[in-house]
Structure formats: C-alpha cells, structure tokens
Amino acid sequence: MQQMSPIELRTWLDDAGREQPLLLDVREPWEFGMCKIDGSVPMPMNSVPARFRELDPARQVVVVCHHGGRSMQVAMFLERQGFDKVINLAGGVAGWAAQVDPSMATY
C-alpha cells in the first residue's frame, strides 16, 4: 500500500508538468461539505463497492478521508479490484489542514 504525506501531495499538485491524480474523497457528504481539498471528487466509503467502476484504473488515484483510516481501507479495496495506481493520503484532510492549508476548516 502506497502512502503519501500532505506535503508530498501539495508538491505533486503544484507540479504543472506532472499528470494530476484523481483526489477521491471517501468521507461522508456532511464532512465533504465542511472542508475538502480543491479538486476532490466525493465518493463516500459505503458507496465505493457499487461505484468503483466509475473510476479509471489507469489513472493515479489518491484516496482521502479525515485522518487516513477509511481511505486506507478504500485504497486496499481498489487494489483488490485491479487498481495499481492507488495512494492513501496519510493524515487525511486533518493532516492537510495542519501541514498545508491552516485556513481549512477542521472538525
């Protein structure tokens, strides 16, 4: 299971010469409404088994949740479905707020 820190993700997103990943946010709608990383696509964890075919298995996917636990479970599920370009955001949006964007709302 690949993981990356919020700082590593910020560096990637800032690199215009690098293909951008899909930021898959697996938190609940109320959480996503509270705060999110710009460009994130919401797909609540409980909907992933029914919806993962909507995702492109050839694209880099960074899975995001609040602290990194749910996203790690989803990343492992996607790997079992044949996705080999999946990365878990260690620390989730809480880590993003602490390390990258202190103006982001937290909960």
Q: What is the CATH number of the domain that holds 89?
A: 3.40.250.10
Torsion angle of alpha carbons 84, 80, 24, 68, nearest 10°?
-100
Do 59 and 70 contact (CB within 8 A), yes or no? Answer: no
Please state, in angstroms and rounded to a whole number, the distance separating the CA atoms of residues 56 and 15. Answer: 21
Residue 56 forms part of a structural domain: yes
Residue 6 forms part of a structural domain: yes
Q: Is 65 a catalytic residue?
A: yes
CA neighbor of 31 nearest in space, from 97, 87, 100: 97
Residue 105 forms part of a structural domain: no
Residue 53 forms part of a structural domain: yes
Please state, in angstroms and rounded to a whole number, the distance separating the CA atoms of residues 85 and 75. Answer: 10
Please state, in angstroms and rounded to a whole number, the distance separating the CA atoms of residues 29 and 104. Answer: 17
pLDDT in tens, the chain (107 residues): 899 999 999 999 999 999 999 999 999 999 999 999 999 999 999 999 999 999 999 999 999 999 999 999 999 999 999 999 999 999 999 999 999 999 999 99
Which pLDDT score, from 0 to 100, does residue 1 have?
A: 82
CA neighbor of 24 nearest in space, from 49, 58, 69, 60: 60
Catalytic residue (choose from 64, 65, 74, 75): 65
Tell me the pTM.
0.97
